[in-house]
Amino acid sequence: MLNFELYNPTNLIFGKGQIEKIATLIPAEAKILIAYGGGSIFKNGIYDQVKAALPDRNIVEFGGIEPNPHYETLMKAVTVIKEQNIDFILAVGGGSVIDGVKFISAAVHFEGNPMDILQKRLLIKDLSKVVPFGTVLTIPATGSEMNSGSVVTIEATQEKLAFGGSALFPKFSICDPTVIVSLPKRQLQNGVVDAYTHVLEQYLTYPHEGFLQDRISESILQTLIEIGPKVVEDPTNYALASNFMWSCTMALNGLIQKGVPSDWATHMIGHELTALYGIDHARTLAIIGPNLYKVMFETKKGKLAQYGKRIFNLTGTEDEIAQEAINKTVAFFHTMGMQTQLSEYTKEFDTTADFIANRFEERGWKGLGEKQNITPEKVREIVTASY
Ligand code: NZQ
Ligand code: ZN
């Protein structure tokens, strides 16, 4: 097993009716910015619950953080924070609002051009230079509620870029599984597939000595396969909703990544498809993931075979099991309402592979993946296979 440090200071508060605890979690004298998205929180009662939990507090609101949050929008919130002397941010939303708040938190006291945080992928480690924030999660998917990563889109350059750092863990996150009842089916499906792919990014690498990490990963995958198709049909079922929400958090709170190699190339390529075509994050992963496993088959087949045996009970030679495991993954994504080829979303994809490969080349991303062998040339092959 590789050496590791596990640091996760987020106070996770999980369960029904927990939103009312917010008042005890935010310093009494804090001037609070409540940040939210396009307004779903007004329709499903989450806004009312948050406001009821914070009587007599000094609150300013900032709405309109879009899915795949835009740098341009977030900078408006930075201005509000400076003008109004805000000292705590409460993100009420999904991965987009939480990621947006992480960027805002880092940008307020940043000396220099905040765009550098994204384009130079700066590590934000100094707690004295960020604005503290907490979250009320409204959609299980990204794990952003318990990790220190964020993904922000620069509208002007059509770039979707990841950054993060140890200073960007939420102080607390309230995860009430009942919030999922108002989610459209498409978003429930997205959440299952995003979390599933987060596990695969950290699990489908090469055989290693992180036996426990593998077993934890496999149990998250099995849980998602078991509950995913059901929870999208019945989000009011609390057993399903709570296991769905906890699986998503566990898939990307850092635990299963400790001491083992990880990949993340599916995400890096997928982010480009969102930036170029506006395809939902999870849906880009369903397009790219299986094709990446095919193109990188020789690198990944040992782990693909383990996955095939343990998750799908497959038998045969290592190659046969590994191949069939990819087919089973595609079938699961179809069950979850995903389309798995780019041509199902856009007819203008002829130059996409070249565009993405060239962009990675320009950014110096010459070797992605657990073995740094996903070169721009391989990226071109993966995207072409995804047409
Ligand atoms: O904006 P509102 O009106 O709130 O509507 C949202 C949005 O349209 C809606 N929604 C959220 N909760 C709802 C609800 N509608 C009804 N009832 C509720 N309870 O759902 C839509 C999608 O929300 P969004 O926050 O975009 O979804 P998600 O949580 O999937 O976040 C996706 C973003 O997270 C990034 C993605 O790239 C994408 O930008 N990721 C962040 C990661 C991280 N920080 O660790 C890792 C992920 O791999 C991912 O890259
Ligand atoms: Zn993801």
**What are the pLDDT digits (tens) for 124-135?**
999 999 999 999
Quickly tell me which residue has 């203008």 as its tokens: 348
DSSP letter at 157 equals G
Q: Is 262 exposed, middle or buried (0-12, 13-18, 19+ CB in 10 A)?
A: middle
**210-221 pLDDT per residue, tens:** 999 999 999 999
What amino acid is encoded at 358 in this protein?
Answer: N
Please state the length of the chain: 387
State how far the Cα of 169 lies from the Cα of 274, in Å rounded to an integer: 25
Name residue 103's amino acid.
Answer: F
pLDDT of 348 reads: 85
- The predicted pLDDT at position 99 comes to 98
Q: Whose CA is nearest to atom 45 of ligand 1?
A: 144
Mutate which of 281, 284, 285, 338 for ligand 1? The one with the most ligand atoms within 8 Å of its CB, which is 281
- Per-residue confidence (pLDDT) for residue 2, from 0 to 100: 96
Pairing of β 149-154 and β 133-137: unpaired
Contact criterion met (CB below 8 Å) for 204 and 256: no
Closest listed ligand to the CA of 39: 1
Q: Who lines ligand 1 at CB under 6 A?
A: 37-41, 44, 67-68, 93-97, 99, 138-139, 141-144, 147, 149-151, 179, 182-183, 187, 190, 194, 252, 267, 281
d(CA 133, CA 171): 6
What pLDDT shows up at residue 157? 94
Residue 252's pLDDT is what? 98
pLDDT of residue 350: 87
Mutational test site, ligand 1, from 34, 50, 99, 197, max ligand atoms within 8 Å of CB: 99
Q: Provide the total of helices (H) and of strands (E) in the chain, helices listed first.
A: 15, 8
Question: Is-contact 61 34, C-beta < 8 A?
Answer: yes
Q: Residue 65 gets which letter from DSSP?
A: P
- Ligand 1 pocket mutation pick from 66, 138, 146 by most atoms within 8 angstroms of CB: 138
The ipTM is 0.99
- What is the per-residue pLDDT for 357? 98
Hey, what are 176's tokens? 């009430």
Q: Write the DSSP symbol of residue 182.
A: G
Tell me the backbone φ, ψ of residue 375, rounded to 5 degrees: -80, 165
Q: Where are the alpha helices (DSSP H) in the chain?
A: 22-25, 40-43, 46-53, 71-84, 95-107, 115-119, 185-203, 211-231, 238-251, 265-277, 281-295, 297-312, 318-335, 352-363, 376-385
Q: Phi and psi at residue 175, in whole multiples of 5°?
A: -115, 95
State the pTM of this model: 0.98
Alpha-carbon distance of 187 to 183, in angstroms, equals: 6
Burial class (CB in 10 A: 0-12, 13-18, 19+), 187: buried
Q: Kindly give, in sequence order, each residue whose CB lies less than 8 Å from that of residue 143, ignoring residues fewer than 6 positions away.
A: 195, 198, 248, 249, 250, 251, 252, 253
CA distance 88 to 188: 30
Counting as low any pLDDT under 50, the low residues of the chain are none
